[in-house]
Structure 1
């Protein structure tokens, strides 16, 4: 069996994922507050609000505090001359090999949260699929994009 890839993503990925999850979970907490208010105003059974608060608390712990650390520990990638090796996943670990000859184009992308932490993601597109290496330092993402572009072009010329 092949060894796991060597390269990791940036440590700030944990913070970025926590912020993104906190925004999503914030919407869930707003819905929980709405359930509590509606239960109070219309004299519904208050257990609905309690159950919603418990679910929101569990989601907050899981998605904001636990999941980002686990995702970071599992994300690995490595670039070879002939292929790109990507490994990710928590319960189900996915190991993907993308042949350089299949790479059509490589992009970097950066949203507002990634930009605040000087991070970017590299997106690798083939004819059938798109693969992403998330949350790399901006300089590393640009270098990786250029390296993959050069290696994919060389492979096409050799065929």
Structure 2
């Protein structure tokens, strides 16, 4: 069996993922508060309220505090001359090999949260799908994009 890829993504990815998750969980908490208010108005059983609060607390712990760290630990990538090797996943670890000959184009993208931490993601497009290496330092993402593009171009010339 092949060894896992060696390159990791930026450590600030954890902070960026926590902020993103906090935004989504914030919406969940707003819905939970609305549920509590509606339960009081319509005199619904109290256990409905406890279940919604329990779900919100559990989601907050999992998505804001636990999963970003686990996700960062599992994300690995490596670029070879003939292929790109990507590993990711928390419970189910996925290892993907993308042949350079199949790469159609490579992009970098950066949203407002990634920009705050000077991070960018690299997306690798093939005819079948798109693969992403998230949350790399901006300079590393640009270098990786250019390197993959050059390697993919060389492979196309060889065919």
TM-score, normalised by the number of residues in structure 2: 0.99
Q: Name 1:134's counterpart in structure 2.
A: 134
Deviation at 1:45, TM superposition (A): 1.4
Deviation at 1:39, TM superposition (A): 1.0
1:86-125 Cα distance to aligned partner (Å, 9 max, x none): 0001111100000000000000000000000000000000
Rounded Cα–Cα distance in structure 2 between residues aligned with 1:29 and 1:90: 25
Contact 1:36 1:46 in 2 (8 A): no
Q: Give the alignment of 1:88-99 within 5 angstroms.
A: 88-99=88-99
Rounded Cα–Cα distance in structure 1 between residues aligned with 2:154 and 2:42: 69
Deviation at 1:81, TM superposition (A): 0.3
TM-score, normalised by the number of residues in structure 1: 0.99
Structure 1's unaligned 5+ residue stretches are: none
What is the number of equivalent residue pairs in this alignment?
159
Deviation at 1:67, TM superposition (A): 0.3
Rounded Cα–Cα distance in structure 2 between residues aligned with 1:132 and 1:42: 47
1:52-94 Cα distance to aligned partner (Å, 9 max, x none): 0000000000010000000000000000000000000111110
Deviation at 1:47, TM superposition (A): 1.6
Deviation at 1:36, TM superposition (A): 0.5
Moved over 3 A (4+): none
- 2:66 is paired with a residue whose SS is helix
Contact 1:32 1:52 in 2 (8 A): yes
Contact 1:82 1:99 in 2 (8 A): yes
Rounded Cα–Cα distance in structure 2 between residues aligned with 1:47 and 1:34: 15
Q: Name 1:25's counterpart in structure 2.
A: 25
TM-align CA RMSD: 0.6
Structure 2's unaligned 5+ residue stretches are: none
